[in-house]
Amino acid sequence: MPKVKNHTVLFYLIFFVVFLLSMTSAHGANATDTEVGFKKCMECHPKIQKEMNQKGRHEPFKKYQCSSCHNPHTSNYEYLVRNEIGTLCKSCHKGKKGSFDKKYSHLPFEEGECLKCHNPHSSKNPKLLTARGEQLCFGCHSDKEMFSKKNEHDPARKGNCLTCHSHHTSDYEELVEKSPERLCVTCHTATKKSHSNYPVNGTDCMSCHNPHGSNRNKLINENLHKPFAGKKCTKCHNPAGSANPLGMKSKGISVCTTCHPLIKEDFRKINTHVGDGVFCTNCHTPHASNKAHLKKAKEKKICTACHQDTKERLKDKKNYKYKHPSVIEGKCTECHRPHGSDFELFFRTDEISTCVGCHKKHATFTHPVGEKTVDPRSKGEINCSTCHNLMGSPHDFALRFNQKKQLCIQCHKGY
């Protein structure tokens, strides 16, 4: 019995050693095969060898694992990558918990264009970036007017964009790292003395200051509200020494229409932008702005802050490829009145007149439209938007349906 037991132990010992040797051998063979496969790739792609010699290499590339990202035979995507670039990258780079799920996204990140900022193989820069600092950001954000002012914010002047901005996503507009009320006071102290004795801690500094640069002292924005320019704060606010100094002297829109009576007439039209939760400062800054009419931002940004359906169509370029040029350019007020209108959808005149103002051929030759026409579905008159969705459509000419048949049979059922 003891002899049999020794044979059994010896058998298992030999088996274990052989197993380890086989695993080691297999691992070496796989590593060798991978490198051999990489050398095969180099026969046609010799320039990639230079990238392999750089210090900062993408981990799969470093390990000769071309097939981690590429299909060696066929693909539906350029460079034979296995999936759309954004989806491919995020399959490994998931970010810290919740870091990719914030409210605002950097446009290239949102659209899956990771290669606008990162090199897929290797780079001499950290994080596989295609360039460093200002050279990277200003490749797209090259607004000369913004970055060529007499007075420049120090981080902007040095190209240290990430001092204030996040690179992928953020919970705050413009991808800033913190809320506007908390961001600036990270470095700056807002004193009462420099703000006419008003307590400005906890307020949005960018309602007066430009965070990049300005031709005015203290980085004040270019266009000034008259009371602000004259330091007549009490035109709108309570006195600095009162119990509620930042409170308004009158209620609702009357604080603005007291000085802007013509706007008050716009607000009395059939369709008006004034309503619950909507106030003049939704669109305008009360102190200083770099935009005309003291607008808070570009028209597209102001309008899509509320009109989320249009925002989604603008973002979704795949399913809503065709849009009116004014929509793409963000020139909403070319067709719509911003305060109020007696016409539907805030058009400047009736819808058909608004459209044929530019599309003059359609005024004499078009599908019947106007008061004498009836849409059999809604029983309302047929107009331009009956067939066109100018905010975005997958069909030519921003048509609501395919023009070959589907559009026509919406009304012409007999065909």
- Specify the higher pLDDT residue, 189 or 96: 189
Our CA angle for 357, 360, 363, nearest 5°, is 100
Q: What pLDDT is recorded for position 338?
A: 92
Q: Which residues contact 363 (CB under 8 A, 6 or more apart)?
A: 356
Give mean pLDDT, residues 131-139: 85
Q: What pLDDT is recorded for position 352?
A: 93
- Percent of the chain's residues with pLDDT above 90: 56
Lowest mean pLDDT among 111-115, 123-127, 247-251: 247-251
CA distance linking residue 90 with residue 97, whole number of Å = 13
Question: Which pairs count as long-range contacts for 297-300, CB under 8 Å and 24+ apart, including other chains?
Answer: 298/330, 299/330, 299/331, 299/332, 299/333, 300/329, 300/330, 300/332
Q: What pLDDT is recorded for position 7?
A: 60
Give mean pLDDT, residues 119-143: 87
CA distance linking residue 204 with residue 181, whole number of Å = 5
pLDDT in tens, 280-311: 988 999 999 999 999 999 999 999 988 999 98
Handedness of CA 172, 178, 182, 185 (dihedral sign): negative
CA distance linking residue 409 with residue 411, whole number of Å = 5
Give mean pLDDT, residues 362-389: 90
Q: Confidence class of residue 76 from pLDDT cuts 50, 70 and 90?
A: very high
Res. 130: pLDDT tops 80: yes
Contact between 332 and 326 under an 8 Å Cβ cutoff? The reply is: yes
Q: Which residues contact 228 (CB under 8 A, 6 or more apart)?
A: 208, 286, 287, 288
Q: What pLDDT is recorded for position 115?
A: 95
Q: What pLDDT is recorded for position 383?
A: 92
Q: What pLDDT is recorded for position 22?
A: 42
Lowest mean pLDDT among 43-47, 141-145, 385-389, 391-395: 141-145
Res. 27: pLDDT tops 70: no
CA distance linking residue 264 with residue 258, whole number of Å = 9
Q: What pLDDT is recorded for position 20?
A: 40
Q: Confidence class of residue 26 from pLDDT cuts 50, 70 and 90?
A: very low
Mean pLDDT of the chain: 86
Q: Which helix (H) or strand (E) holds 329?
A: helix 325-329
pLDDT in tens, 399-415: 999 998 899 999 998 76
Give the pTM.
Answer: 0.75
Extract the tokens encoding 221. Answer: 């924005």
Q: What pLDDT is recorded for position 415?
A: 67
Give mean pLDDT, residues 217-232: 94
Res. 13: pLDDT tops 80: no
Q: What pLDDT is recorded for position 143?
A: 66
Res. 84: pLDDT tops 80: yes
- Specify the higher pLDDT residue, 180 or 74: 74
Q: Confidence class of residue 4 from pLDDT cuts 50, 70 and 90?
A: very low
Q: Confidence class of residue 28 from pLDDT cuts 50, 70 and 90?
A: very low
Q: What pLDDT is recorded for position 195?
A: 92
393 vs 16, 134, 321, 390, CA distance in Å? 66, 37, 6, 7
- Separation of first and last alpha carbons in the chain: 94
Backbone angles phi, psi at 231, to 5 degrees: 55, 35
Q: What pLDDT is recorded for position 6?
A: 59
Q: Confidence class of residue 55 from pLDDT cuts 50, 70 and 90?
A: confident
Q: What pLDDT is recorded for position 15?
A: 47
Lowest mean pLDDT among 8-17, 339-348, 378-387: 8-17
Give mean pLDDT, residues 207-222: 92
- Percent of the chain's residues with pLDDT above 70: 91
Contact between 313 and 320 under an 8 Å Cβ cutoff? The reply is: yes
Q: What pLDDT is recorded for position 1?
A: 43
- Specify the higher pLDDT residue, 346 or 149: 346
